[in-house]
Structure 1
Amino acid sequence: MDEHPTPGTAASRAGRAGRADGPDRPDQVLQQLLAGLTAVRDGDFRTRLGTDLPGVPGEIATVFNGMVEQLARVTSEVTRVAREVGSEGRLGGQAHVPGAAGTWLDLTGAVNAMAGDLTRQLRNIAQVTTAVARGDLTQKIEVDARGELLELKNTVNTMVDQLSAFAGEVTRVAREVGSEGNLGGQATVRGVSGTWKDLTDNVNVMASNLTGQVRSMSDVATAVARGDLSRKITVEAKGEVA
């Protein structure tokens, strides 16, 4: 009996069928690839394909695994920077993805540009507002900005201008009336409203009252010095002035 089956025997057909059902069968490779791509589509980057497949299927598995690993690195870095800058308030973060190219490099660059712009803008705003809190009204926000950040920049700079004008006028009136004895001074601050307008009005009322009181006292004192005892101080006054 011939122990070696001919190509047409049942044993030969079974052997070929066994090889066709092996791990390198094309439809099995495609099923694995489909499962992996489906996972990636659904945001699952944990799937890997076996790379021990011969020929093109093995190359496909290697490329797929590399793609998934790169996607995982990009996602991890972008998420980290977004969390640090957006949620934790830790400015200056940058994404680093070794080997990134093409769209992945563009995406990483865009995230880093966004984080860099926000860092510069927010740090400049913080620097100016901190200076204002310390009484330094000489600083302005100079960093380039657009959209809502531009509105914030303009608002802060306008606030600094108004505070500077207010402080300058109040200081001038206080110096003229209190130190130089020039009565009648009034603070003029354009565009102020709310508390700043109230403060300006209060300073002006104070200066006006002091002017009226001191001038009335001066008139009476001058009259007495001239021998005129018919004059009296009639201006309204309170406290020590009264």
Structure 2
Amino acid sequence: MARASTRTNGDTRKAVNRRAAAQPNEERPDRERRKEAPPVDPRALEALVEALDAARRGDFSVRLSKRRKGVLGDVAASYNELVETNERMTKELVRIARVIGREGRMTERASLPGAEGGWETSVGSINSLIGDLVRPTTEVGRVLNAVAEGDLSQKMALTIEGQPVKGEFLRIGTTVNTMVEQLSSFADEVTRVAREVGTEGKLGGQAEVKGVSGTWRDLTENVNLMASNLTDQVR
């Protein structure tokens, strides 16, 4: 009986050992896992701290070594990718500021190939801001070009995608539209007085341009003075 018990106990211990060997690492005791973990290289941690400190100061030129393996290698790869994206974003912002602000290429937009998540949102927001700033400038140019060609029917749009413009955009748009309205009104009145006095023979005609001041008023008064002089000469 003793021999049978000994064999049974031995078989049991072997079975337990086999099951323990078959267990995955996460199910083994912490002490065993700690024995298997590779030692951390202090120099790698120092390099990581220095790189993070450089990035904090806005220096995205520092890179971590790609030769490390394991977790430190993964950290280095992720960090390098992060600062590379930051560096590309910075260069793109500098480029877009130059080509739009200095070179006047209003149709240019920011681009960051491969951008996802917050990066993609940032690029989209920048381009939306550029579009909102460029649109009033383009509108002013369109209206002024029409005025230069003698078309006084054009006005700046005071809505953007169905929403009314506000702030400085509204002030600029209102000013430009008022200028065009005054030009149009003045031109209409001068044409009317010239036709009545010069063509139809209706003496005593006077131009009436409402709400004008400064040079506009001076021009209106000069036209009326000219019409009065013509009337006096005929009479």
Same fold? TM cut 0.5: yes
In 1, the alpha carbon distance for the partners of 2:48 and 2:103 equals 39
Aligned partner of 1:182 among 182, 202, 206? 202
Map of 1:89-238 to 2, 5 A cutoff? 89-142=104-157, 144=160, 145-215=165-235
Structure 2 unaligned segments of length 5 or more: list them. Answer: 1-37
- Partner of 2:63 in structure 1? 48
In 2, the alpha carbon distance for the partners of 1:83 and 1:114 equals 16
Following TM superposition, by how much is the alpha carbon of 1:141 offset from its aligned partner in structure 2, in angstroms? 0.9
- Partner of 2:4 in structure 1? none
In 1, the alpha carbon distance for the partners of 2:94 and 2:169 equals 23
Amino acid at match of 1:200: T
Q: What is the DSSP-based 3-state SS (H/G/I as helix, E as strand, rest coil) of the residue aligned with 2:61?
A: coil
Aligned partner of 1:78 among 72, 90, 93? 93
Contact 1:92/1:115 (8 A) holds in 2? no
In 1, the alpha carbon distance for the partners of 2:84 and 2:58 equals 12
- Partner of 2:44 in structure 1? 29
Q: What is the DSSP-based 3-state SS (H/G/I as helix, E as strand, rest coil) of the residue aligned with 1:186?
A: coil
How big is the alpha-carbon RMSD for the aligned residues of Structure 1 and Structure 2?
Answer: 1.6
Report sequence identity in percent.
Answer: 52
Amino acid at match of 1:153: G
Following TM superposition, by how much is the alpha carbon of 1:28 offset from its aligned partner in structure 2, in angstroms? 1.9
**TM-score normalised by length of structure 2:** 0.78
In 2, the alpha carbon distance for the partners of 1:146 and 1:53 equals 55
In 2, the alpha carbon distance for the partners of 1:78 and 1:111 equals 9
Following TM superposition, by how much is the alpha carbon of 1:168 offset from its aligned partner in structure 2, in angstroms? 0.4
Following TM superposition, by how much is the alpha carbon of 1:67 offset from its aligned partner in structure 2, in angstroms? 0.2
Name segments (4+ residues, structure 1) moved above 4 Å. none
Contact 1:78/1:108 (8 A) holds in 2? no
- The aligned length equals 193
In 1, the alpha carbon distance for the partners of 2:207 and 2:53 equals 72
